Amino acid sequence: MSAKTPGHSRGLKKTHKAAIAGVAALSAAAIGFSLVPGNGGATETEPQALANTQQVAWSYDANSPQAKALAASLDSQQSTIELKAKQDAAAKAKAKAAADAKAKAEAKAKAEAKAKADAKKRAEAKAAASRAAVRKPVFANNLDGWIREALYIMDKHDIPGTYNGIHKNVMRESSGNPFAINNWDINAINGVPSKGLLQVIYPTFKAYHIPGTKFDQYDPVANIVAACNYAADRYGSIDNVNSAY
């Protein structure tokens, strides 16, 4: 064994070895480059050291841990994206189905409510018609019946008057004859003779006629109701009339 050189370590560290390897590589590259002919010679070729460096940089090993990790990461990301898309689509479909079901339920509820309301209206109208048919009395076709029917109508229209008040005025004006007519007083001279049970002229009958009664001065019920309506407006009630009015 040779003697040790003073001031030197026993061996080379890893960093030293790497540095020496690097210098050697650069020297080889320089030598390779210097051997390449100039522009006037043959076709230039890539320095061997540079060519080896590029090949290392662009090489890909599918079985390397890095490649496997990258592939696994991409697969995981793709799976996550696809799962999210499926979940979003399922959520949208569920929301749409819920909205459609709600709209359908609301439409059904509205239709049922309308059907019930219509049925209720028909039932009420039928009941009202039935009550009206039952309650409406039948009046005799004579003076007593005419006065009572007139009073029945007057009550619905808030027209005051009593049986006795109407009867006394009818007997004074026409003696109970629904076709009585006055052809000699001033009204007759003016072309509007008094007619009917309570001797009403046409302008008065027209102004105070009550809808639902016949528009006929000679109709006994229509004549009484119109005359009592006029008397109520002018005198407060037919009961207050004791002479020509």
Give 123-146 pLDDT, tens digit per residue.
998 888 777 666 778 999 999 999
Digit-coded pLDDT (tens) for 141-155: 999 999 999 999 999
Digit-coded pLDDT (tens) for 29-82: 433 333 344 444 444 454 554 444 444 444 567 788 888 888 888 888 988 999
Question: Which two three-digit tokens encode residue 190?
Answer: 């003016």
Q: Using an 8 Å Cβ cutoff, are 223 and 147 in contact?
A: no
pLDDT in the model for residue 56: 46
pLDDT in the model for residue 126: 86
Polymer length in residues for the chain: 245
- Cα-based distances in Å from 171 to 30, 55, 198, 226: 152, 138, 9, 17
CA distance 147 to 129: 25
* Burial class of 176 by CB neighbour count within 10 A (0 to 12, 13 to 18, 19+): middle
DSSP state of 212: T
